[in-house]
Amino acid sequence: MNLTLHVWRQKSPADPGRMVKYEVRGVSEHASFLEMLDVLNEQLVEKGEEPIAFEHDCREGICGSCGFMINGEAHGPQPATTVCQLHMRHFKDGAVLHLEPWRSKAFPVVKDLVVNRSSFDRIVAAGGFISVATGSAPEANLIPVPKPISDRAFDAAQCIGCGACVAQCPNGAAQLFTSAKVSHLSLLPQGQPERFDRALSMVEAMEREGFGSCTNYAECEAVCPKEISIDFIARMNRDYLSAKGKGVMKPPLSTAG
């Protein structure tokens, strides 16, 4: 298949950047999107041109490092799929595709399609951990956790920190990411002692990073490759308001759902 790509090229954070057109010929429909870019990059290198910078590590949908906009959709048109797991068979021969980096004040562009997502790391560093003594792994396995609660915690724990939720949100909000990181710990017994302080610290860290505010567009949920539910945002907001003493009664710790 043949494609026309319009790719955002930006040499450095200070460079204003621009879209550059490329014609890519003979792409296999079995290639992943990143493999298609690999082929294009080899051709650019052979011509003595600078290859397109994009980020990746695992290429199997688990590390969260890949991701860019394809025709205005974070990770492209396939639901629940990271761009590294997206295959060319989902596009038509002759398709015209516009590739852009995540657009968010809190994710400054490093180069081409690569952005700096360390703002996410700082949110996690503010409270995305358990510091109370939880014992060793065998002891953890002896603590009974109701199946619906462990399933819910696992749903939240699937967040790979890719940043698609922020990129797709018209407000550039990071509530889906932050609520997933808050919830996967605070749903479990080991996460209960720091539950409300964690919500407070992580929400405040999120606000310091310059993300926008959530107004329930739910675009984040629609593009999330791990299908994280916006219900976690409501849960985080309840815990945050409880921590601030805003008249929301703290739920009993044992029924954390």
Judged by the rule CB under 6 A, the positions of this chain that interact with ligand SF4 are 159-165, 176-177, 180, 224-226, 228
> In the bound complex, what is the minimum distance in angstroms from residue 244's beta carbon to ligand SF4?
24
Residue in this structure with the two tokens 């219900």, named with its chain if needed: 231
Name which position in 15, 29, 50, 57 contacts ligand FES (CB under 6 A). Answer: 57
Residue 66 binds to ligand FES (criterion: CB under 6 A): yes
DSSP letter assigned to residue 212: B
> In the bound complex, what is the minimum distance in angstroms from residue 206's beta carbon to ligand SF4?
12
Which span sits near ligand FES by CB under 6 A: 41-49, 57-65, 113-121, 206-214?
A: 57-65
**Residue 165 contact partner, candidates ligand SF4, ligand FES, none, CB within 5 to 8 A by sort of partner:** ligand SF4
Q: Number of H helices and number of E strands within the chain?
A: 9, 7
Site string for ligand FES, 79-108 (x = CB under 6 A): ---x-x------------------------
Which span sits near ligand FES by CB under 6 A: 14-22, 25-33, 60-68, 111-119?
A: 60-68
Rounded Cα–Cα distance for residues 1 and 201 (Å):
50
Closest CA to 5 of 112, 129, 117, 96: 96
Which span sits near ligand FES by CB under 6 A: 9-17, 62-70, 114-122, 145-153?
A: 62-70
Residue 63 binds to ligand FES (criterion: CB under 6 A): yes
**Contact of 21 with 39, CB cutoff 8 Å:** no
Calculate the alpha carbon distances from 11 to 8, 22, 62, 113 in Å.
10, 17, 28, 10
Number of residues that bind ligand FES (CB under 6 A): 13
Rounded Cα–Cα distance for residues 200 and 217 (Å):
23
Closest CA to 100 of 17, 33, 24: 17
Rounded Cα–Cα distance for residues 72 and 222 (Å):
13
Q: Would you tell me which residues interact with ligand FES (CB under 6 A)?
A: 56-59, 61-66, 82, 84, 160
